[in-house]
Structure 1
Amino acid sequence: MTTSCLSTPPSLAVPVDVLKDEHPTDQDECCAAAGPIARPAENSASNTAGPASRARSAIRSTTWRSPEVRAHMARFGAADVIVAVFPVWWFAPPAVLKGWIDRVWNHGFAYGAAETRLAGKRMLWLGLAGGSSGGYAESGLAAAMDTQLRMGISNFCGIEDAELRLIHDTETAPEEQVLADAETAAADFLFGEA
C-alpha cells in the first residue's frame, strides 16, 4: 500500500509532502517514520482498448487522470519539500512505489511541459534497507539506487536538490534505532547537518 500525506509539522517553516510506502506485513517502522498518512486510489478510468492503445492515449491526454491522482499532483504543487519513505526490496524501491510514480509523476505534470511544476522543490528519498552500509557501498548498490531515484526521477523532473538516504541494518537493529536514524536523516536533509 502506498500512502502520502501533506503536513506542516509545527517545527517546519515549509510544507512537506511525505510519501510512505510500507511492507504489507511490517508496517510499524514506515508508519512511525512517515507520520500521518492518506491512501490514494488506483486509476479509476475504464477503457476497453488494448494496453498499447490505452498507453498511447494516456500519453496524449490528461483526461485519464483520476481525481485521486490529480489530488496528489495538487499536494506536490503545494509542497516545498517531498519526502518518500520506503522499504528497500531487492535493492530498489518496491513495485507499488514505482507504480505510484508512474501514475502521478507523469508527462505534462512532472516532466515534458514547457515549465516543470516540480522545479525548485526539494526531495528526500528515505529507504529502509536490511543490508549493511558497507555491503551496499562495496557492491555499488547504493550508487545504483542514487542514480535511479535522485538523477533518473527527481533531477529528470526538475528537482535539483534531491538526495537518497538509506537507513541500514533495519532487519537487525532495534526499532528505536531505526526510527532515530530515520529522524536524523530527515532532519539533516531539511535543516543541514547537525
Structure 2
Amino acid sequence: MTAVKPQTILYGFWLSSCTWRVRAALHLKKIPYEERSVDILHEKAQLTDQYRAINPSQKVPALCIDGATLVESMAIIEYLDETRPEPPLKPPSPLQRARMQEICETVVSGIQPLQNIGLKGYFETEDKYTAFTKYWTERGLQSLEELLTKSAGTYCVGDQFTKADLCLVPQLYNAVTRHKLDLGKYRTVSQLYEKLLKEQSFEETHPKKVRNSN
C-alpha cells in the first residue's frame, strides 16, 4: 500500500511580501500546495489562539510540509531548496552566494521589518508611521542599487534565479504600491524588477491573482 504524502499547506496573506517569497518558491519548485488566508490587516487573524498554535510568533507565513510546520520565510525557502534541490536557489560559487546573501539580508533585515504594518500602532499618527517606513525603504533601495550593480546579470546574481530574486520582487512591489516610491531613480533595481515580474513564478503567484482567487 502506497503511503499518502502529507498535504502541503501555506498559511499566508495575499499582500504579505514574506508570504509571496514562499509562494513563488513553491511554484518554482513545482510543489502542489493549498494556501489558507490569514487576514493580518483587517481581521487580525494572526493574533488568535488558533493561529498561534500554528505559528508561535503570530506572523505569516507558516508552511505545513512533510509532516512538519515551518515558520519564517527564509527558513522555509532554505528547507525547500535542501529537500527539493531542483532548480537550485543558490549559485555555485562562494562569492556569488555571499552576494546573494547580501541582497537577501538588505531586504529581510534592512527593509521589511522597518515597514511592517505591525509597527503602525507604535506611532502617534499615520503620517509619522508613513514617513518612517518610506525613509527606511528608500535607504534600502539605495543599498540594493549599489549591491546589484556589482552582482546582477539576467537575475540579481549573475544569470541564475536565486533566493535574492525571491526577496527582491515582493519588497519592490510593496515600495511601489504601498509607498508610491519611484523606482526610476534606481536603474538596475527598476530594470530587474520589470523583468522579474514577467517570470512565471511571480506572475502565477502575484498578490492580485491570489486575492482574486479567494
Judging by fraction of residues, say which structure has more strand: 1
User: TM-score, with normalisation over the residues of structure 1?
Assistant: 0.32
Highest RCO, 1 vs 2 (Cα 8 Å, sep ≥ 6): 2
User: TM-score, with normalisation over the residues of structure 2?
Assistant: 0.30
